[in-house]
Amino acid sequence: MEPEVVLQVKNLKTYFTTSKGTAKAVDGVDFTLHKGETLGIVGESGCGKSMTSLSLLRLIPSPPGKIVDGEILLNNKDIVTMKEDELRKVRGNQISMIFQEPMTSLNPIIPVGEQIAETVRLHQRLSRKAAWQKAVDLLELVGLPSPEKRAKQEPFQLSGGMRQRVMIAMALACTPEVLIADEPTTALDVTIQAQILELMKDLQKQIGMSIIFITHDLGVVSEVCDQVAVMYAGQVVEHRSARDLFNSPLHPYTQGLLASLPKIHENQEELQTIEGAVPSPYDYPAGCRFADRCQHARAICRAEAPVLEAVGGTESKVRCFMYTEKWETAAEEEEVLCP
Amino acid sequence: MSVMEKEPILEVNHLKQYFPLKKESLFSPKQTVKAVDDISFKLYPGETLSIVGESGCGKSTTGRSILRLDEPTEGEVLFNGASMTSLSKKELREMRGDIQVIFQDPYASLNPRQTIRKMLQEAMTIQNVMPKKQMEARMLELMSLVGLRPEYLERYPHEFSGGQRQRIGIARALCVNPKVIICDEAVSALDVSIQAQIINLLKRMQRDLDLTFLFISHDLSVVRHISDRVIVMYLGSIVEIADKDSLFDRPSHPYTRALLSAIPSTDEQQKKTRIILKGDVPSPINPPTGCRFHTRCPFATDLCKTDVPELRALTPTHKVACHYAETLLSSPPV
């Protein structure tokens, strides 16, 4: 039985207009998030993963940024066309976000318990006292030791890991359906990261929410995600179950990315690299955006842009001509062209 | 191991680096952060020795103390047998030509108003590496060595991407013909595909130019890839030091084990054997008594709370500071 779809993103385009021209930060992103599922969005810096996540709640600084096309359907209601007051009910209530550096999202001079209570009172009709109690309960839920004492402390009195727990508590205050986590463990040490990832997995089981996990760390993705969308140059190039992705990556970019990771369990002489650099978002090539760095590229890759489509009757989607019928005909044509 | 028979190029003896804290009031007791608390190790020519640990464990402070960017509180550092802690300013400058450093964020360590040419020229002039006439040829050689185009010499740091800036950082370190390079989180800020390029470059440089690396990093996968030997630090002291294969195949300190198991992995097998440590790293102002790890250690006993474990040799190439290392080793991994 297919679980119900919570969030569906169709052909999302977020462009930035600057003096240098139009930067296509997000350029036709599609993905689907099911109930109770964790979807990882991975990619290297500048691929548009953070801009995608900000677009989901219309948090793009505007101007210069603008969602120029596409739909973001949350339970079949489109966030892109929503009015501001409706949107305010969605933010924090149905969709919450946590960020990489909790210190920049917390108010430095207000006790953390009060900040959580404020969020609670913004969305629910509760007395101050009840909201405070709820804040303490939430801090206990996220495993902060002696929550009553900690709730009265200011952010600087807490360690990095504790602050991230506070952010998670705040995000969960209204039991959202979707939690967007943008690099939530990147600034933390590995042993603390392991604690936070474990906590997020536990809470997801208890609350039954869906998580969108944005990260550049493929190891983290494989730890926590069910589904993965790999982004490159503003587009999703591969969207599959995490298990399939790590066992047999399809897109040449994903293959290159996995191969360039140093392995902890074996000794390697030389690491594999992906030659070249990402194309500029101001001027994407007409064909496949990875073609210039791809060792399999044929004439068709530079002439036509591939689309994200399912591979041979499976759930796996990939944006590459290698898995389409065109590939073989392209090969024959190439032989005719350069015998 | 054959490297061990050579004379060490750099020797660190009982290095301590304390930072005094500002008093909260006139009568409050004097407090110090013991960032590095009595560590000793040797660096042999041609090897890569890594220091790993979490933030605040003192790994970067160690690097800075060796270079005397911070004056060490106690202990000595010997370079080719000569003490570095008592050098005059002039001698220190000469020594810094032999030991170079590459930092995590090259953008923060490159002068934004100097072209690459100016930067390299200045470094070579200060260290008096060669006559001015030969510099041009040397600069072109360096650029091709680190994989940058010769015309980039005329550009400013902001015109480069992160990976290219790190290549410039490497070129600048190499331009004075150093013997030892300290890499402080040199690849941590880079994307994986770029990180792989820079790691390969560093390894090639080492092979071709006969360099010695002290590689400071929090990333154990990178450390496994690049090192010959590894030091694991926790709260200012060394908990384990071993050659690479021995450390990764038979981690003997409970902290090393936890650290290794905490790395998110794309490998299915690894996920099942996770050790999750409770709590945070204690404060280096008031480190725990006895073994510093006992507050988070799943195997801690009363002995660990009172007695500081010595760093002792399990095998000639594997030292560990834990009272129960043998028992832990004979037990199967948790």
Polymer length of chain B: 334
Same domain as B302, residue B264: yes
- Which pLDDT score is estimated for B103? 86
* Mean pLDDT of all residues in A308-335: 82
Picking from B199, B234, B269, the residue at the C-terminal end of a domain is B234
Beta strand A38-42 with A227-232 is: parallel
What is the number of domains present in chain B? 2
Strand order in the sheet with B212-217: B99-102, B180-184, B212-217, B48-52, B229-234, B237-243, B318-320, B312-315
Looking at residue A95, what is its pLDDT? 92
What beta strand segments (E) does chain B contain? 10-20, 32-43, 48-52, 74-79, 82-83, 99-102, 180-184, 212-217, 229-234, 237-243, 312-315, 318-320
Q: What is the mean pLDDT of residues A238-254?
A: 92
Cα distances (Å, whole numbers) of residue A123 to A35, A140, A272, A323, B2: 22, 21, 50, 48, 67
Q: How far is B235 from chain A (nearest CA, A)?
A: 14
Q: For A99-139, how does the pLDDT look when each residue is reduced to its tens digit (9 = 90+)?
A: 888 888 889 899 999 999 998 898 888 899 999 999 999 99
Please, are residues B269 and A266 in contact by the beta-carbon 8 Å criterion? no
Residue B240 falls inside a structural domain: no
Cβ distance of B191 and A246 shorter than 8 Å: no
The pLDDT value recorded for residue B216 is 94
| Host H or E run for residue B302 | helix B302-306
For residue B27, give the CATH number of its domain.
Answer: 3.40.50.300
Q: Does B313 touch chain A (CB under 8 A)?
A: no
Question: Could you tell me if B25 and B164 lie in one domain?
Answer: yes
The torsion of the CA quartet A223, A226, A232, A233, rounded to 10 degrees, works out to -110
CB contact (8 A) between residue A44 and residue B274? no
Tell which of B234, B266, B285 closes a domain: B234
Chain A contact residues (CB < 8 Å to B): 44-45, 145, 159, 161-162, 189-195, 197-198, 216-220, 222-223, 246, 256-258, 260-265, 267-268, 270-274, 277
Q: Is A208 left (phi over 0), alpha (psi -120 to 50) or beta?
A: left
Same domain for B75 and B180: yes
Which of the pair, A278 or A38, is modelled with greater confidence?
A: A38
Q: What pLDDT is stored for residue B286 in this prediction?
A: 83
Q: Please report which helix (H) or strand (E) contains residue A42, including its range.
A: strand A38-42
B246 within a domain of the structure (yes/no): no
Query: What is the nearest CA distance from B38 to chain A, expressed in angstroms?
Result: 24
Specify the 3-state DSSP secondary structure of B47.
Answer: coil
Does B143 share its domain with B95? yes
Q: What single-letter amino acid sits at B47?
A: E
Q: Give the pLDDT mean for A268-291.
A: 85
Task: Say whether both B217 and B264 belong to one domain.
Answer: no
Residues B300 and B178 in one domain: no
B215 and B301 co-located in one domain: no
- Which residues of chain A lie closer than 8 angstroms to B279, CB-CB? 145
**pLDDT band per the 50, 70, 90 thresholds, residue A328:** confident
Can you list the residues of chain B whose pLDDT is less than 50?
A: 1-3, 334
Do the domain assignments include residue B159?
yes
Q: So what's the pLDDT on residue B332?
A: 58
Q: Is B71 in the same domain as B118?
A: yes
Q: Does B260 contact chain A (CB < 8 Å)?
A: yes
Tokens at B78, concatenated: 């010997």
- B40, B74 contact by CB (below 8 A): no
Which chain A residue lies closest to B282 (C-alpha atoms)?
A: A159
> What's the mean pLDDT when you consider all of chain B?
87
Same domain, B54 and B189: yes
Number of C-beta neighbours around residue A269 at 10 A: 7
Among the partner residues B203, B218, B276, nearest to A194 by beta-carbon distance: B276
Asked if B169 and B102 count as a contact pair (C-beta separation under 8 A), the reply is: yes
Distance from CA of A255 to the nearest CA of B (A): 11
Same domain, B107 and B157: yes
Q: How confident is the model at residue A253 (pLDDT cuts 50, 70, 90)?
A: very high
**Domain encompassing residue B60:** 2-234
Closest chain B C-alpha to A267 CA, distance in angstroms: 6
pLDDT digits (tens, 9 = 90+) for A166-178: 988 888 888 889 9
Q: Is residue B170 part of a domain?
A: yes
* Co-location of B226 and B288 in the same domain: no
pLDDT value at residue B269: 62
Name the pLDDT band for A21 (thresholds 50, 70, 90). confident
Burial state string for B126-148 with b = 16 or more CB within 10 A and e = fewer than 16: ebeeeeeeebeebbeebbebbbb
């290297």: which residue's tokens? Answer: A44
Q: Is B112 exposed, middle or buried (0-12, 13-18, 19+ CB in 10 A)?
A: exposed
Show which of B234, B269, B304 is a domain's final residue.
Answer: B234
pLDDT of the residue at B284: 81
Model confidence over B186-223: pLDDT tens digits?
888 888 888 888 899 899 889 888 999 999 998 888 99
Residue B326: inside a domain, yes or no? Answer: yes
B274 within a domain of the structure (yes/no): yes
Say if B39 falls within a structural domain. Answer: yes
Q: Are residues B134 and B195 in the same domain?
A: yes
Q: CA A199 to CA A30: how far, in whole Å?
A: 29
Q: Is the pLDDT of residue A238 over 70?
A: yes
Quick check: A218 and B266 CB within 8 A? yes
Q: pLDDT of A171-215, one tens digit each? A: 888 888 999 999 888 878 888 888 889 888 988 988 889 999 999
pTM for the whole thing? 0.83
Q: With contacts defined as CB-CB under 8 Å, which chain A residues touch B162?
A: 45
In a domain, B197, yes or no: yes
In B, which residues are within 8 Å of A198 by CB distance?
A: 276
- Residues with Cβ < 8 Å from B208, sequence gap 6 or more? none
What ipTM does this complex have? Answer: 0.77
